[in-house]
Structure 1
């Protein structure tokens, strides 16, 4: 049975349906990279480097597009943006199986730019539907389902590819995007709560320098640092198991990590009090640094990774909770898009940096680099939220009038 905090939040109007809808909407997003890689390598007979170029271009487009799409949603509403982005994305994935490699590479960036931002939209919907004091449980459930989608989605796409073809897989992604976009258009879920919209204020939009302050920048940097640590840990894990000849146990160790992450998240979501976002991120990075000392055998490595994974979901939930609290309702879509870009940036930085450390050292140093990199980025965020002292005004000398003797 779910704890009372989760039952209460799932009982709120439209929350349960929104979580399920956005779980389905996320599935094609989790399959795009592997589906395109398999298509370029197997069907177009190109190399993995060329496949990676298309994937990187799509990722860059998505990172740049998420804040822009969020800004358009803030200004023009959900339906108009979903209609445009959903139509373009559906058309791209339905035609992708029939395009030559050069056309795919050219269209990858605009395809990423105009992707329906399922992650940031989910957070925006739930922020509008759920009062602030109940957001931690609902964000925990959403983050847990997001992790599940990254397991289910790639598994399904590999199954479709092996049983049918890469063309069928790409077409399936297009159909799924089209259907979920149509449902989003029809349901027209709220992007702001009724209490946050007042007559005459719908178009009032604060300037970025007024809301993107040190606290929000710090929250975004903590997101970057957390994802740097997480993706770096995955790279180091794969390298460690390969060095020890235990690659076959990779799935088991990842399953141990996932169970620990979900368990930590469920406890965090039900707790009445929580640790600050930066503290959770520091624990995440610090706990992974010594893991390289326990990288053999595989079961000891899995156990050593449990403490840091207990902090995984709580850290991600705290980042979302902080951004949802700090962002004004009129710019929430753009703020959530910035958080989406921050997570993508952390992934983009963590993989090559930790990989470079492993190439010039060992998998053990990879774990240390993953933790240290996350701590450094989190430290920069901590410095950003500290207020800058105002310059002291020069003292004006005062002269007392002389008293005649």
Structure 2
């Protein structure tokens, strides 16, 4: 039986841009935690560190879709170098501000500039779409990219923290700033796989942002709700492990979530399902909501790891379905922007989930934070149901 993933790389240039894209997306999960680790060590304030990191996350959520919109209009090779240069300059400003003890406001300016980092996940997905549009292999490609996203979000944060702790506080953001241009320019070197830019005419020039489409807003809300679950799992897992005086076990729990998502994503991508996308969206939303309930019932590290593993199983397939729907819903010349809105919403959800669950934990117990995940799961189900009705 042929391996559907090996068949993806039959097209010329696919191995190159897949590897370049994997390298270029690592800086995103490295940056937020890297800023917190750096500033908590050098400025001694988690409040300041969290505020600067939140500024980066918010700036990225707002600016990355606009950068992707420019990419759709002018092409990756025209836009990505400038966006990358701005983002790297923001990191350098952050590093310089900490090195020379500049005022705190310079840190926020640096974080805003770092937020111009392009959404490399969307750039690579756009290349796969250009090659396999309308073919079953496209779902497999989206599955592979979702797994790559998971891998970078597993490896990025500990890599960044480890560098900042073991070498010097600025090391994590500095390495991220080095990896970003290397990956971006490796991707841009593969010009033959770059998506074609649509010919500019009155309709394309005057077309508004895809976020104006109600269906895209609905899918973005779905991704934000899913991000709330991820952010909650992250912060509650750490707090619960500390409550049981086994802080090292937090990494085991978080790895279980990622492993469940990666394995299910690979399996989903290998299947040739005939179920309509709107129905799969509803099923994914229902399963995601149901898997938040057992999180409230755990009593040990092992049971939490199992519950988190099961919860992670439905993350990747639901995200793949959402991306596939974007490919169907938006005009071809706005595909990158459409995907970026969903990825940005996911990142906002993760940040919000961690913040809200952290507040709940401070006011109660560690496991009380999972009520945030339960509410987010209900929101996922509601949005998936509305999507099922609208998109059928």
1:326 to 329, 334, 344: 329
Q: 1:218-238 CA distances to partner (integer Å, 9 max, x unpaired)? A: 222221121112222222323
Secondary structure of the equivalent of 1:348? helix
Partner of 1:229: helix, strand, or coil? helix
List per-residue Cα deviations over 1:104-155 (Å, max 9, x = no partner): 222322331x212212222222222223321221111111122111222233
Contact (CA 8 Å) 2:210, 2:337: kept in 1 or not? no
Aligned residue in 2 for 1:282: 286
Structure 2 residue corresponding to 1:123, chosen from 114, 122, 125: 125
Give the whole-Å Cα distance in 1 for the aligned partners of 2:365 and 2:157: 29
**TM-score of the pair, normalised by structure 2:** 0.87
TM-score, reference length from structure 1: 0.84
Summarize the Cα distance change of 1:206–1:223 in structure 2 as closer, same or farther, 3 Å threshold: farther
Higher Cα radius of gyration? 1
Counterparts of 1:206 and 1:332, CA distance in 2:
16
Match of 1:20 in 2: 19
Deviation by residue 1:176-230 (Cα, 9 ceiling, x = unmatched): 223233333433465536xx95x67697357348885443332222211211122
Counterpart contact for 2:265–2:317, Cα < 8 Å: yes
Distance across 2 between alignment mates of 1:209 and 1:245: 49
1:348 corresponds to: 351
Residue pairs, 1:30-69, within 5 angstroms: 30-43=29-42, 45-69=43-67
1:166-185 → structure 2 map (5 Å cutoff) = 166-185=169-188
* Greater shift in the superposed pair: 81-90 or 252-261: 252-261
Provide the residue aligned with 1:241 in structure 2.
241
> Does residue 373 of structure 2 align to residue 370 of structure 1?
yes
Contact 1:221–1:381 (Cα < 8 Å) also in 2: no
The aligned counterpart of 2:79 is 81
The 2-side partners of 1:25 and 1:280 are apart by 29
Q: Which residue pairs with 1:291 in the alignment?
A: 295
C-alpha separation between the residues in 2 aligned to 1:384 and 1:105? 37
The 5-angstrom pairing of residues 202-217 of structure 1 reads: 204-205=204-205, 207-208=207-208, 212-217=212-217
Matched with 1:97 is 95
Q: Which runs of 5+ in 1 are unaligned?
A: 389-405
Cα 1:216–1:206 shift into 2, 3 Å: farther
Secondary structure at 1:12 match in 2: coil
Query: Considering only aligned residues, what root-mean-square deviation do their CA atoms show, in Å?
Result: 2.8
Give the equivalent residue in structure 2 for 1:307.
310
Aligned residues: 381
Question: Structure 1 207/313 Cα, relative in aligned 2: closer, same or farther at 3 Å?
Answer: same
Q: For residues 210 and 233 of structure 2, what CA distance do their matches in structure 1 show?
A: 36
Give distance in 2, aligned partners of 1:152 and 1:3: 30
Identify the range of structure 1 (124-133 vs 312-321) with the bigger mean alpha-carbon deviation.
Answer: 124-133
Residue pair 2:281, 2:388 contacting (<8 A) in 1 also: no
CA–CA distance in structure 2, aligned partners of residues 210 and 249 of structure 1 = 42
Give the Cα–Cα distance (whole angstroms) in 1 for the partners of residues 282 and 146 of structure 2: 18
Label 1:380 to 1:280 Cα distance change in 2 as closer, same or farther (>3 A): closer
Structure 2 unpaired stretches of 5+: none
Moved more, 260-269 or 230-239: 230-239
Provide the rounded CA distance (Å) in 2 between the counterparts of 1:210 and 1:158.
36
Is residue 109 of structure 2 the alignment partner of residue 106 of structure 1? yes
Counterpart contact for 1:36–1:55, Cα < 8 Å: yes
Cα deviation for residue 317 of structure 1 reads: 1.6
1:232 maps to 232
Q: CA deviation at 1:5?
A: 1.8
